[in-house]
A and B are shown apart, each in its own frame.
Chain A
Amino acid sequence: MKNQFYFFVSIFFFCQSIYAITPPIKYGKVSEEELLMTVYDKDSSAVAVVLCDYGFFDLRDYYFTRTIRVKILRKEGLYLANDIYPGIEGSEVKGKTFNLVDGEVVVTKLKAESVFRERVHEDYYRLRIAMPDVKVGSVFDIEMRQYFPPPVWSFQREIPVVWSELIMPESLYFKMQRRLTGFEPLVIRSRNRWAAKDVKAFKEEPYTNSSENYITKFDIDLESIEIPGVLYKEYATDWDAVARRLAESSWFGNHLESAALYLKDIVKEIEASDTTDLLKIQSAYNFVKQINWNGYNSIYTTKSSSLGRVIDEGIGNTADINLLLVRLLNKLDIKAKPVILSTRENGTISSYYPSLNRLNYVIAYVDLGLSELYLDATDELLPLGMLPKRCLNENAQLVHNGKAYYKSIEPVFKNKATELMTLNMNEDLSISGTYSSRREGYNAYNYRKQFEKYNSVESYIDNLEDNFSGLEISDYNIKNLEKVEEPISESCAIELEDAVFEVDGKVFFNPLFHLQMEENPFKLAERKYPVDYAYKQNLTYSISIVIPDGYAVEELPETIKMGLPENAASVFYSINAVGNRVAVTYRFIINKERFNVTDYQLLKEFYSQVIEKQAEPVILKKL
């Protein structure tokens, strides 16, 4: 009794405090200053600016109200008057546009004719709103009301935001997980209230893993609902709770408990032929890889009944496939457990903020005592122990017996390739010779993926020839394209036209020929977010060119060796001449998966120096 009393009193006070805060915006009350504004002083290039974005979750009726005020500063920003907002079928919307005409404020109301409710799919709706009477200088307000809060609150948008505030009170009945991501600071961070001020516009940059990770926003997850004595439902209070929920789920844990009689035959077969654990793992992996991935990521299987049907149908999602692999390995007495994670596109999960909603992928983990293996059987092109790029997203959780264990996912394989060319320069200055390559790790994987896009080897070669003008390929041979556990090797004869030119009786050519890197991937002067390669790189070229009689080497590019601090990246490039032979060795190494923003200038400079160096020709003189 006493407890319950305390309970209600606390809610009462709690509500009082939240409701006492003055809202930063009042719908429809636009100031003259806002109407007179012509430029946003913090970013004079802004085409429009969000003056205020305010979200309030009212515990008294569980309604969430969002009030947004936008100022249009330039013609280029008019498009912001047409926008799409997530909603539910019954979302209530009102809106007003304010214009200053000859010193008078003219108000135009948003009417139903300009609000469209799009039923995207099943119960998922979007509100598509085209605000009326908007021109350069206009301010408009939109207020939307709906039952329950939206799953995400973004403090940052593609235009600057002057003030963004979210009030999400928590009650003992109703608990939520709110996780902040992004790079912009918050000015208010209390238990129930968060606000950001003067948030810069968000712009995407190349080589980032996911904009989801960098935009400043809140993810809102339901943690638990409790109606005393009636209902208690726990969602995600900590990672162990996540693990417990998964363990109890018919779409996850139950599969790992089942007798899995459907695996009887294959278990027998593998046990009969394979003697070591590693061989068994390889066979199990190959068996499960035969099941085709339907392209969907999920931590839940498509079937709550037996996964045997996944084998019969030959297709499944990530959970179907990889939980089946875990189960099969367990049946073979291998210590395998599921590891749950969020893919790169889906954003990084934090080890401190448990969230079931943020997870979208399951892989298999095998403890081999001295070493460990991470397996993903969704892609037949993956060799044992290689994870696809989508999974290389740092944090993951191993779940076992209702407990969670943090795992850091680091790629085991590199992007590694060695390319060799043995060339002759002919009397007519044309180039012919042989090319061969050996591709390993992610390089081989990416190459196989690339190859799949062509409908034949011929069309693959045609494309290569189109990409490098003057390159002609014949006698092309590729080994181990299908044997994914092995490196790929290629060989062919090549001819290169237009690779050599003559000026004033001197002959010039680029000793890397078509292997020359032409474009700097980092062109922008500044960068705000880290550079994420996902895995390390190691490229080696070895080229020899025999020059024709009657010519001698006059000048060679100087050998260079340079690197970034802590050996994070390095290049070695040497060109030597011995008699009539020019020998080139080039090694390019990226030794780190992720570079901080502070390293950007260095990395950009490194690339531009490599490219400049590669542009230097060899000069021959006529004897």
Chain B
Amino acid sequence: MCLNKITVILLVCSLFSAGQLSGNFVANEISDELKNNARSVVRYHEQTLEVQTISDAKLSVRYAITVLNKNGLEDSFLQVGYNKNIKVRNIVGEIFDASGKRIKRLSISDVEDFSAIDGFSIYDDSRVKYYDPEIREYPFTVEYSYDLNFNGYVSLPGWSPFFGSNVSVEKSSFFLIYPSDLRLRYEENNIAKKNEELFDDQIKIKWEMEGVEAIEYEPFMPPYKDWGESVAIAPDQFKYEGYSGGADSWFNLGVWAHQLSEGRGELSESTVQEMRELIVGASSEKEKIERIYNYLQENTRYVSIQLGIGGFQPFEAETVERLKYGDCKALTNYMKALLAAVDVQSFYTLVLAGDYEPNVSEKFPSNNFNHVFLCAPLEKDTLWLECTSQNIPCGYIGDFTDDRNVLLVGEDGGQLVRTPAYSASSNGIRSNSNVDIYANGNAKIKAVNRFYGSYLDQIVYRMSLDDVSKERGIYERIDVPKLRVNDFNYSIDKQHKMGTERLDLDVANLAVKMGSNLFLTPNMFNRVEELSGDPQKRLTDIFIRRSSSQSDTIKFHLPSGVEVSTIPDNITIDSEFGLYKMELALEGQTLSYYRYFELKKGTYLKSRANEFYVFFNQIKKADKLRIALKVN
């Protein structure tokens, strides 16, 4: 009897906790401001994070979203990611038509289950629960709720009322609940309002936002964290698959990361011997590292496998030695072991890699990294070693890892340091071309383009293609009506960290013939594109992530009998955002064109958007400049 009662109570509880949805959604009650530019509108979104212990947490999510048109269709799908340490529970869903009438209830048998291995991994254990309510009559509303149970964690989910561009939000809230003896920290970005309740044994904090209008993509947009509301949560202590750690300081997070790779650096005696032989005659530490890095590149390949703690722990160096492949952690750990074999010290380094990732704030230690590489400190010049590429120069740092805070993992703890940033002069493309123009307007072009800094990655990519795809890429990038690629060549100068593209091209009608005139646009290939959007309506600041400079020097060799009617004046556009120069000179039958375009790293207030667009429009106009040639 007693048992039955308990069952009933449990049933009622579960109905109230996850099973109950609020209903009542009339699509045309949404305000016009929130409908503006929106494909769908989040009616409410409630996220409750209950952290019970250092290894148990539960995230309950409930939300309703009204899909206004076809473009928002995917917002109506339920997509819940999980893996073997995150369990999905209590999926409930209901569907409402435009008038708010319920037309469907999610049945658990309709929820499908797929593997969700990311594009670059050979294997990981991510899966997704997926449900399409199959409504194609707009507008309509879906309401879902589900729980995620975390069996161990190293980081915790945070919150933001942002659900992608063209989605507005009526109301979004985040409720954090945890026992007062558990130490959690949170980092607020652009948050105005919060509500904190302290009980004897529990802490409850609630963040809320109302009426967030839909935003569209804007060029030079800063990462969301810089302008939008968000809260990040980090535990001081955590436990995952038997490994306990602390994230209360960068130092302690480093202790945990070190513990995971400890004892995994053993190499076979023969490999140790091979490394010692490899460095014989090396004149400096740097040269030793270069030789060993080259060995790594010649002998291993990158294969991503992410499983459980394997998502954080490298395989043993011996395994890489045997398989000749590994993921970023395994290859970094292996490289570290190879260096250690010749007594060169290096540090396993955690990084939030990617061109669009936000800044990792120094004041908020948290395990929010997605990649690992190696840092080898030298007296003058620290080397950063990306161990997953077979092609880049030793010590090359691309837009994936440059200019950001990273965590060095030492034997006794972690330390947050910053990777170097590129200056405008060290980052860009220098192009030198010689162009023979014929009287009919056809041209023969020989170009040498040198890629520096983050741009070198483009050459690394092009070199990774087979010859057919390399050639096809040239046809696709160069936008002229009729082109013939006679020859091309790609190379990387590892010493100078420079990539070179050499092209030999024939172009028909590079100059357009009109009667006795030829019209030539000297900027053949490198024109700036129109900035989309209206500067008056700009919502975010202008964010130039890294400084860069492009220079083009082109010598046009004109046939005899062809004259330049007038040489347009040189142009200089100098602004705080950057510098643009265009210079033309005629010497005999050679017309020289020089273009320089520099962008300066920084965040510029959105109130200056107009100025920025004017700067770009002036350049765009200068890039289109045409010269009239006279054919005698």
Measured in the bound complex, the distance between the Cα atoms of B451 and A211 in whole Å is 35
The answer on a CB contact under 8 Å between A128 and B324 is no
Q: Which of A114, A452, A616 contacts B323 (CB 8 A)?
A: A114
The answer on a CB contact under 8 Å between B534 and A503 is no
The answer on a CB contact under 8 Å between A292 and B71 is no
The answer on a CB contact under 8 Å between A466 and B136 is no
Query: Does A360 make an interface contact (CB < 8 A)?
Result: no
User: Given contacts A76-B466, A555-B514, is CB(A455)–CB(B325) below 8 Å?
Assistant: no
**Which residues in A have their C-beta under 8 angstroms from that of B134?**
294, 313, 315
Chain A residue, CB-CB nearest to B470: A45
The answer on a CB contact under 8 Å between A203 and B71 is no
The answer on a CB contact under 8 Å between A466 and B533 is yes
Chain A residue, CB-CB nearest to B513: A616
Contact pattern, A 77-121, Cβ under 8 Å of B = 1, otherwise 0: 011011000000000000000000000000010000110101111
User: Given contacts A201-B468, A469-B530, A523-B476, is CB(A116)–CB(B515) below 8 Å?
Assistant: no
Query: Does A236 make an interface contact (CB < 8 A)?
Result: no
The answer on a CB contact under 8 Å between B628 and A503 is yes
Query: Does A619 make an interface contact (CB < 8 A)?
Result: yes
Q: Which of A81, A130, A503, A555 contacts B515 (CB 8 A)?
A: A555
**Which residues in B have their C-beta under 8 angstroms from that of A201?**
466, 468
Query: Does A147 make an interface contact (CB < 8 A)?
Result: no
Instruction: Kindly provide the distance from the CB of B402 to the nearest chain A CB, expressed in whole angstroms.
Output: 24
The answer on a CB contact under 8 Å between A119 and B323 is no
Measured in the bound complex, the distance between the Cα atoms of B532 and A469 in whole Å is 10
User: Given contacts A118-B123, A130-B303, A612-B481, is CB(A617)–CB(B534) below 8 Å?
Assistant: no
Query: Does A275 make an interface contact (CB < 8 A)?
Result: no
**Which residues in A have their C-beta under 8 angstroms from that of B624?**
498
Contact pattern, A 36-54, Cβ under 8 Å of B = 1, otherwise 0: 0000000001110000000
Query: Does B484 make an interface contact (CB < 8 A)?
Result: yes
The answer on a CB contact under 8 Å between A315 and B390 is no
The answer on a CB contact under 8 Å between A611 and B481 is yes
Q: Which of B37, B117, B481, B519 contacts A520 (CB 8 A)?
A: B481
**Which residues in A have their C-beta under 8 angstroms from that of B69?**
452, 455
The answer on a CB contact under 8 Å between A523 and B475 is yes
**Which residues in B have their C-beta under 8 angstroms from that of A501?**
626
**Which residues in B have their C-beta under 8 angstroms from that of A294?**
132, 134, 136
Query: Does A135 make an interface contact (CB < 8 A)?
Result: yes
**Which residues in B have their C-beta under 8 angstroms from that of A133?**
322-324
Q: Which of B71, B323, B466, B481 contacts A46 (CB 8 A)?
A: B466
Contact pattern, A 296-314, Cβ under 8 Å of B = 1, otherwise 0: 0000000000000000011
Q: Which of A118, A121, A134, A508 contacts B301 (CB 8 A)?
A: A134
Instruction: Pick the interface stretch among B107-115, B403-411, B424-432, B553-561.
Output: B107-115
The answer on a CB contact under 8 Å between A45 and B299 is no
Instruction: Kindly provide the distance from the CB of A602 to the nearest chain B CB, expressed in whole angstroms.
Output: 14
Contact pattern, B 451-491, Cβ under 8 Å of A = 1, otherwise 0: 00000000000011111110010011001011111000000
Measured in the bound complex, the distance between the Cα atoms of B469 and A47 in whole Å is 12
The answer on a CB contact under 8 Å between B621 and A498 is yes
User: Given contacts A116-B122, A466-B530, is CB(A134)–CB(B565) below 8 Å?
Assistant: no
Interface residues of B in 605-632 (CB under 8 A from A): 620-621, 624, 626-628
The answer on a CB contact under 8 Å between A315 and B468 is no
The answer on a CB contact under 8 Å between A78 and B323 is no
Q: Which of B68, B301, B323, B484 contacts A455 (CB 8 A)?
A: B68
**Which residues in A have their C-beta under 8 angstroms from that of B509?**
612, 615
Query: Does B508 make an interface contact (CB < 8 A)?
Result: yes
Chain B residue, CB-CB nearest to A72: B301
The answer on a CB contact under 8 Å between A292 and B136 is yes
**Which residues in B have their C-beta under 8 angstroms from that of A60?**
none
**Which residues in B have their C-beta under 8 angstroms from that of A79?**
301
The answer on a CB contact under 8 Å between B479 and A519 is yes
Query: Does B344 make an interface contact (CB < 8 A)?
Result: no
Q: Which of B323, B465, B508 contacts A612 (CB 8 A)?
A: B508
The answer on a CB contact under 8 Å between B482 and A612 is yes
The answer on a CB contact under 8 Å between B137 and A608 is no
The answer on a CB contact under 8 Å between A76 and B39 is no
Interface residues of A in 437-485 (CB under 8 A from B): 452-453, 455-456, 459, 462-463, 466-467, 469
Measured in the bound complex, the distance between the Cα atoms of B618 and A469 in whole Å is 12
Q: Which of A116, A121, A466, A616 contacts B514 (CB 8 A)?
A: A616
Interface residues of A in 567-623 (CB under 8 A from B): 607-608, 611-612, 615-617, 619
Instruction: Kindly provide the distance from the CB of A372 to the nearest chain B CB, expressed in whole angstroms.
Output: 29
Measured in the bound complex, the distance between the Cα atoms of B473 and A523 in whole Å is 10
Query: Does A385 make an interface contact (CB < 8 A)?
Result: no
Contact pattern, A 486-506, Cβ under 8 Å of B = 1, otherwise 0: 000000000000100101101
**Which residues in A have their C-beta under 8 angstroms from that of B483?**
523
Instruction: Kindly provide the distance from the CB of B473 to the nearest chain A CB, expressed in whole angstroms.
Output: 11
Chain B residue, CB-CB nearest to A108: B322
Measured in the bound complex, the distance between the Cα atoms of B112 and A120 in whole Å is 11
Query: Does A20 make an interface contact (CB < 8 A)?
Result: no
**Which residues in A have their C-beta under 8 angstroms from that of B115?**
118-121
Interface residues of A in 6-22 (CB under 8 A from B): none
Interface residues of B in 123-168 (CB under 8 A from A): 123, 132, 134-137, 166
Chain B residue, CB-CB nearest to A116: B123
Q: Which of A113, A455, A503, A616 contacts B71 (CB 8 A)?
A: A455
Q: Which of A82, A518, A617 contacts B303 (CB 8 A)?
A: A82
**Which residues in B have their C-beta under 8 angstroms from that of A47?**
466
**Which residues in A have their C-beta under 8 angstroms from that of B412?**
none
The answer on a CB contact under 8 Å between A503 and B323 is no
**Which residues in A have their C-beta under 8 angstroms from that of B513?**
616
Q: Which of A78, A130, A456, A498 contacts B122 (CB 8 A)?
A: A130
The answer on a CB contact under 8 Å between A314 and B137 is yes
Chain B residue, CB-CB nearest to A557: B514
Chain A residue, CB-CB nearest to B40: A455
Query: Does A524 make an interface contact (CB < 8 A)?
Result: yes
Interface residues of B in 501-552 (CB under 8 A from A): 508-509, 512-515, 517, 519, 530, 532-534
Chain A residue, CB-CB nearest to B509: A612
Measured in the bound complex, the distance between the Cα atoms of B323 and A81 in whole Å is 11
The answer on a CB contact under 8 Å between A81 and B322 is no
Interface residues of B in 163-215 (CB under 8 A from A): 166
Query: Does A132 make an interface contact (CB < 8 A)?
Result: yes
The answer on a CB contact under 8 Å between B71 and A453 is yes
Q: Which of A45, A134, A453, A508 contacts B324 (CB 8 A)?
A: A134
Query: Does A293 make an interface contact (CB < 8 A)?
Result: yes
Measured in the bound complex, the distance between the Cα atoms of B530 and A557 in whole Å is 29
Chain A residue, CB-CB nearest to B480: A520
User: Given contacts A132-B325, A452-B69, A612-B481, is CB(A504)–CB(B466) below 8 Å?
Assistant: no
Instruction: Kindly provide the distance from the CB of B267 to the nearest chain A CB, expressed in whole angstroms.
Output: 16
Query: Does A1 make an interface contact (CB < 8 A)?
Result: no
For this complex, 27 residue pairs linking A to B, each with C-beta atoms less than 8 Å apart, are A45-B468, A78-B390, A79-B301, A82-B122, A108-B322, A121-B113, A130-B325, A133-B324, A135-B301, A135-B324, A201-B468, A293-B136, A313-B134, A315-B134, A455-B37, A462-B533, A503-B626, A503-B628, A504-B565, A508-B628, A523-B475, A525-B475, A525-B485, A612-B509, A616-B513, A617-B512, A619-B514
Task: Rank and list the top 6 A-B pairs by shortest CB-CB distance, nearest first.
Answer: A292-B136, A45-B467, A116-B123, A611-B481, A608-B482, A523-B475
Question: Could you list which residues of chain A lie within 8 angstroms of chain B, going by C-beta atoms?
Answer: 45-47, 75-76, 78-79, 81-82, 108, 113-114, 116, 118-121, 128-130, 132-135, 201, 203, 292-294, 313-315, 452-453, 455-456, 459, 462-463, 466-467, 469, 498, 501, 503-504, 506, 508, 518-520, 523-525, 555, 557, 607-608, 611-612, 615-617, 619
Known: A133-B322, A134-B324, A524-B472. 14 other contacts (CB 8 A): A114-B323, A118-B117, A132-B325, A134-B325, A203-B472, A292-B136, A292-B137, A314-B137, A469-B620, A525-B484, A555-B514, A608-B482, A612-B512, A615-B481
Question: Could you list which residues of chain B lie within 8 angstroms of chain A, going by C-beta atoms?
Answer: 36-39, 68-71, 112-115, 117, 122-123, 132, 134-137, 166, 216, 298-299, 301, 303, 305, 322-325, 390-391, 463-469, 472, 475-476, 479, 481-485, 508-509, 512-515, 517, 519, 530, 532-534, 565-566, 620-621, 624, 626-628
